[in-house]
Structures are given as C-alpha cells and as structure tokens.
Amino acid sequence: MTPLIIGLLSGLVGIVLGALGILAFHLSERQRRERIEVGEPVLPEGAAEVLSVVGRAYVIVDAVDGVVRASPAAYAFGLVRGHTVVHKELLELIRRVRRDGVIEERQLELPRGPLGQGTIIIQVRVAPIGDEYILLLADDRTEITRTEAMRNDFVANVSHELKTPVGAISLLAEALEGAAGDEVAVRRFAQRMQKESSRLSAMVQDIIELSRLQGANVVQSGKPVDLNAVVAEAVDRNKLPAEAKDISIVVGGKLELPVYGDADLLTTALRNLIDNAIRYAPEHSTVGVGLRSREGLAVISVTDQGPGISAEEQERIFERFYRVDAARSRQTGGTGLGLSIVKHVIAEHAGEVSVWSQPGQGSTFTVRLPEMDQEPEENQAGDAPAAKRTNGAEDSREQGVSA
C-alpha cells in the first residue's frame, strides 16, 4: 500500500473509534441518570406537609434504616443522632414493620441523652409509608406516666393512713360501749377518741389542701404579697398549739419588698412549717422565725430546738406521708403531709425550701422566694434608706432566732 492509502485508513479508524467513544459516553451518562432517578425515591405526595402539622415527633427511615427525615423533637428526645436511629428497641420495631407490613404501637422507656442520664417514656407508632420508607411517630408520655404513678401511690398511701385513725375510733367505740359503767374508763376512751378524730380531721384537711394546691395557677392568679403579713398570720394561727406546750414563737427581721404569688397559699405553707416546728420542739422552748433579704431573694427561716433529723432522713422528709419517727408523729398528731404542702407551694412560687439539721441540735427550715423589683421612682428616691432598713432587719432577725 502506498503511504497515502495507509494514512486514509488510519484516519478512518480514528474517526470510527472516536464516534464509538462518544456513543459509549452518552450511553454511560444515560444509565447513570437512570440509576440516580431510581435510587432517589420520593415521599408520597403530601406526606411532608401532613407530618409538619401532626404535632408529634417523627422519624422517616429508608430501606437500610438510614434516617431520611426527622423532626426537631425527635432529636430533642434523643431518638435520632445524625442520620441514625439511636435505640435498638426502635430499630427492631422498624424492621418488624418492614418485614410484616403491619402497623405496630408500643410504649417504651428509653435512656435519654448520649450518656444515658435519665429516661424518657414514649408512645410510638410505626407504619410503612410509600414503597420504601418506614414512619415512626413518637409522643412523650414521661410526665403523664409519672403523674399517674404518683396519683396511684397517693391514693394507696391515703387509704393506708386513713385506716389507722378510723380503725382506732372503731375499737375505742366498742371499748366505750363495753365500759359504760366505768366512769374513769369512759373518760379515758373518750379522750382517745377525741385525739384520733382530731388526727383524722387534720389529715382530711391536709388532703383537701394538697388537692387544692395542685389545681392552683399562681402565674395567672398571683399578685404582690407582703410576706411580713403572711408570717404574722401564720404565727397567729399557731398560737394555741404553741401555748399548749408553753413554746414561744419569736419573729425577727422584716422584708421591704413583696413577692409575687398567692397570699393564702403562702400562709398555708408557712403555717405548716411553723406547726411542724412546734410539734417536734420540746416544751418550754422557743421557735424562731427569721426574715431577711439576700441577693434579690426573700429568705424566711424557721428554727426549732427539737431532736433534729439525720442526714439520711433529710432527703425524704418532703415526701408525702413520710415520717422520720412514725410513733412520735402519732403522738404529736402529724399527718405526714405538712412538709409536702410546703414544698409544693414554694415550688409553685418559683422558690425553694431546704433544711439544715443535726441529731440533738434542732432543725432550721429555710424558704427562699424571688422578690419583686422596686419601681424606678422608688429606687431613685430611697436607695440608701432601704439598704439601711434591710441591715436593721437582719440584725433583729439574728436576735429573734437566738432568743
């Protein structure tokens, strides 16, 4: 062949090879686009809009359990981390629904947070959605479940506690009937019946108080409250039991700023706190009530000279019906609800109640409540006198409590 013919044949081969390369490239691109379209299925039309208004945490997973979409609540509940479902219990439900195609609903208690501190109780509903997705809906039932458990415990405790005075009154009534001719026995049984009926009445009253407190809304119904007047009223309501034991109630200090809340509820709380001190204080002793302001908080301390409370018992004394010494509580007429009422009321007022005590050295219960700010005009007009009055209140409080 001549060089010319060889060159033409080489050129022709090159053109053919180039055309085949271009054709192969286009075929490859078409196949790639088809694979992409097949590999990226979409949610059923309208599903995203429905999920956005459903009002429950949701998670959507694909065929390999990867998280396609999740609500902020699902992350907040700790159900999802990144693109992964965290809990194996949820993954098992998802896989079972994918396999069987049957909707499942379950209530689960799961660890909350990456380190497992605390738990969350959720009601979950798992269902297939579309051809390849699984939808998980979750509703936080933690507080509802715990409230129901508390209510059941409360009913059980009330039933148990009411049995004692009711049973005692029944037995005493029988004994009284049998001793009708014995004047001394009749008088003794009658006194015991009066004591048990008083205890029963106090318990019923405390239960009513606690029920009323749980339905109160301090935020909506509150107003400025003068704690000096509240303390005075609480002390006045405890004068009779204090006089019966020859106990002096000494009040020291004064609060210049009001707090926001319900005066009746705060009076109930402080009355219970002072009543508790009187019940456990020895005869011929003193119960001190101190008032002072500190760092924007109204601080009220109630100190007694009673037997004191061990460190182990201090963690439980605010529980309903818990008594450090059940036998002593029966003697003093305590119901085991007083300190629970105190804690509930103070918590509703955004405050706290704490206790310091040592066996043999008495106890001091301290209530802290946020004070209301003064008006700007009052601050400008009387900053120095107000500070002076506060210092005087602290001095008088110290004298009153130590008296």
* 137: confidence class by pLDDT, cuts 50, 70, 90: very high
Residues 251 and 317 in one domain: yes
Residues 297 and 165 in one domain: no
Q: Return the ∠ at Cα 90 (arms to 87 and 96), rounded to 5°.
A: 140
**Residue that terminates a domain, selected from 87, 106, 140:** 140
Output the pLDDT for position 8.
62
Residues 345 and 394 in one domain: yes
Q: In this structure, what CATH number is given to the domain that contains residue 389?
A: 3.30.565.10
Mean pLDDT, the chain, integer: 76
Residues 385 and 241 in one domain: yes
Residue 51 CB: number of other CB atoms within 10 A?
Answer: 18
* Tens-place pLDDT, residues 192-238: 888 778 777 767 776 776 666 665 566 666 789 999 999 999 999 99
Does residue 329 sit within a domain?
A: yes
Residue 285's φ and ψ, nearest 5 degrees, are -115, -170
The whole-number average pLDDT for the span 54-79 is 87
C-alpha span between 345 and 215 (Å, rounded): 11
The whole-number average pLDDT for the span 159-180 is 77
**Distance of CA 365 to CAs 126, 209, 352, Å?**
50, 21, 11
* 310: confidence class by pLDDT, cuts 50, 70, 90: confident
Output the pLDDT for position 189.
84
Residues 287 and 378 in one domain: yes
Q: Give the total number of structural domains in the chain.
A: 3
**Residue that terminates a domain, selected from 191, 215, 239:** 215
Residues 163 and 225 in one domain: no
* 160: confidence class by pLDDT, cuts 50, 70, 90: low
* Whether 158 contacts 137, CB under 8 Å: no
Taking Cα atoms as reference points, which of 128, 194, 129, 132 lies closest to residue 165?
194
| pLDDT above 70: percentage of residues in the chain | 67
* 6: confidence class by pLDDT, cuts 50, 70, 90: low
Residues 299 and 339 in one domain: yes
Residues 368 and 329 in one domain: yes
The whole-number average pLDDT for the span 249-264 is 92
C-alpha span between 21 and 17 (Å, rounded): 6
Does residue 34 sit within a domain?
A: no
Examine the pLDDT at 155 and tell me if it is beyond 70.
no
DSSP H helices in 77-226:
88-100, 142-178, 183-214, 218-221
3-state secondary structure of 286: strand
3-state secondary structure of 367: strand
Look up the pTM and report it: 0.50
Residues 260 and 385 in one domain: yes
Q: In this structure, what CATH number is given to the domain that contains residue 196?
A: 1.10.287.130
Q: In this structure, what CATH number is given to the domain that contains residue 113?
A: 3.30.450.20
**Distance of CA 70 to CAs 55, 67, 146, 240, Å?**
13, 7, 27, 63
The whole-number average pLDDT for the span 47-52 is 69
Regarding beta strands 286-294 and 248-252, do their DSSP bridges make them parallel or antiparallel, or are they unpaired?
parallel
Examine the pLDDT at 99 and tell me if it is beyond 70.
yes
Does residue 23 sit within a domain?
A: no
* Whether 65 contacts 95, CB under 8 Å: yes
The whole-number average pLDDT for the span 155-162 is 65
Does residue 12 sit within a domain?
A: no
Taking Cα atoms as reference points, which of 108, 193, 183, 176 lies closest to residue 142?
108
Output the pLDDT for position 19.
66
The whole-number average pLDDT for the span 23-33 is 66
C-alpha span between 340 and 349 (Å, rounded): 15
Does residue 62 sit within a domain?
A: yes
- What residues make up the domain containing 295? 218-402
Output the pLDDT for position 46.
63
Residue of higher predicted confidence among 315 and 363: 363
Examine the pLDDT at 246 and tell me if it is beyond 90.
yes
**Distance of CA 136 to CAs 154, 169, 342, Å?**
35, 57, 42
Residues 292 and 365 in one domain: yes
Q: Return the ∠ at Cα 58 (arms to 53 and 59), rounded to 5°.
A: 140
C-alpha span between 321 and 343 (Å, rounded): 13
C-alpha span between 84 and 99 (Å, rounded): 20
* Tens-place pLDDT, residues 347-382: 888 889 898 988 888 899 999 999 887 654 444 434
Residues 381 and 238 in one domain: yes
- Structure token digits, residue 394: 């602290």
3-state secondary structure of 182: coil
Output the pLDDT for position 308.
85
**Residue that terminates a domain, selected from 188, 215, 242:** 215
* 89: confidence class by pLDDT, cuts 50, 70, 90: very high
- Helices 142-178 and 183-214: angle between axes, nearest 10 degrees: 170
Residues 120 and 234 in one domain: no
Does residue 82 sit within a domain?
A: yes
* 253: confidence class by pLDDT, cuts 50, 70, 90: very high
The whole-number average pLDDT for the span 315-334 is 55
Does residue 88 sit within a domain?
A: yes
Task: Considering only the C-alpha atoms of the chain, give the largest distance between any 2 of them, rounded to a whole number of Å.
Answer: 152
Does residue 29 sit within a domain?
A: no
Residue 69 CB: number of other CB atoms within 10 A?
Answer: 18
**Distance of CA 18 to CAs 4, 5, 304, Å?**
21, 20, 102
Q: Counting every residue, how long is the chain?
A: 403
